[in-house]
Amino acid sequence: MTETSPIPDLHAATAELDPPLAALDLRALRANAADLVRRAHGVPIRVASKSVRCRGVLEEVLGSDLTGKDGFQGIMSYSLPEAIWLVRRGARDVLLGYPTVHRAALAELAADETLRSSITLMVDDVDQLSLIRAALGTDSVRPRVCLDVDASLRIGPLHLGVRRSPVRTPEQAEALATEAARRGFEVVGVMTYEAQIAGLSDASPAVRLVKRASAAEIGRRRGHVLDAVVSAVGELRIVNSGGTGSIEVSVTDPRVTEVTAGSGLYVPTLFDDYRAFVARPALYFATPVLRRPKSSIATVFAGGYIASGPPGQSRVPKPVWPSGLGLLGTESAGEVQTPLSKAESLRIGDRVWFRHAKAGELCERFDRLHLVDADGSRTEVPTYRGEGKNFG
């Protein structure tokens, strides 16, 4: 379910700027942040930086020092160089969401106590431990690590969820934790990301049934995994779970110490059909009409910002204002132009506003975001790209 569009206000606030441009409605962002906190019922929320990719927005949510405020605490980074960059700018609690094999960044981590005390690495394989230890170049440091445990649902040969960690059973988790400790790592956490719950719309009864079954399965298995890991290495500081679409499920487990969310701040089109929360789209991009090949078609500049994931219509940006516009099946959203149907009212130079299918990926296309507040005032902040950063 979605609320009233803020685009007219964004349109007015950026009227003198030349598109293409990306604009963020701060009212929607703040309402989304408050709703995530409400859904978390007091469990701290770690912000997934890959779904934000703009330091100014991270500061809006976490505070200017990037440490946390108002129910948000810490960052889940998608790259070790990114984590180091964020710590250099004030962050003090960064959990990598994915393993790293970046040797130069690991050597930098080894040489800096602030980095080591602020960053937790993610592991799910003994070979990663070997590579990390070699890249560190010393046996004298004790990096913090979190174990990524597979949270997919398996029914016979059917695999529901993403292909992440090979660690699934309590025995496997205990063995990895034991080996990590033996090699001089400090095991501080366990993560279970149930993508088949967090990343699937709950609009259909069949999907809701699968989500319930998956939640029950991972809830039971996570408890056994945690018991096994604690028996091997002692109490844990981090038990991380969930995503924007599964916060309510994750926080029902009293052993979960934090949940992760990021997409729920911007609310891209992939989150439009969730029943668990009100979708308030916050991030949009605008691009100008360049030509009119026929009376019913207007062609806008660029626009082909296709999201990652399985190819298909769900990954294509959606024209949303003026309303009623559609993409052409023969061309869709293009590299340097995008023709739109039902465009009789559009004229050369008019703007068309779109929404992206995923959250932070749009920031890889723009150097800056224009943040528009409730009073119509506008602030410009650089994206990662605008700060000259590309972490993959």
Q: What is the pLDDT of residues 88-130, one digit of tens each?
A: 999 999 999 999 999 999 999 999 999 999 999 999 999 999 9
User: Regarding the domain with residue range 27-262, which homologous superfamily does it belong to in the CATH classification?
Assistant: Alanine racemase (3.20.20.10)
Omega cis (within 30) before 6: no
Q: Is 1 helix (H, G, I), strand (E, B) or coil?
A: coil
- From the centroid of its chain, how far is CA 342? 33
Residues 6+ apart with CB under 8 A from 200: 207, 210, 211, 245
DSSP 181-240: HHTT-EEEEEEE--HHHHTS---SHHHHHHHHHHHHHHHHHHHHHHHHHHHHH---SEEE
Give the chain's radius of gyration (CA, Å). Answer: 22
Residues 6+ apart with CB under 8 A from 183: 129, 133
Q: Is 160 helix (H, G, I), strand (E, B) or coil?
A: strand
* Distance (Å, whole) CA 384 – CA 307: 17
Q: Where are the domains of the chain?
A: 27-262, 283-365
Could you report the per-residue pLDDT of 239-275, keeping only the tens digit for each?
Answer: 999 888 889 889 999 999 999 999 999 999 999 988 7
DSSP state of 2: B
Q: Once rounded to an integer, what is the mean pLDDT over residues 4-16?
A: 93
* pLDDT at 206 > cutoff 90: no
DSSP state of 76: E
Structure tokens, 239 = 């038990």
* Distance (Å, whole) CA 97 – CA 360: 15
Q: Which of 320, 340, 319, 322 is nearest to 330 (CA)?
A: 340
Q: Where are the alpha helices (DSSP H) in the chain?
A: 7-13, 26-40, 55-62, 80-88, 103-110, 113-118, 126-136, 170-182, 195-198, 205-233, 247-250, 263-266
- What mean pLDDT is reported for the chain? 93
**146 φ, ψ to 5°?**
-120, 140
pLDDT at 159 (0 to 100): 67
Length of the chain: 392
* pLDDT at 198 > cutoff 70: no
Q: Is 47 helix (H, G, I), strand (E, B) or coil?
A: strand
* Distance (Å, whole) CA 372 – CA 391: 27
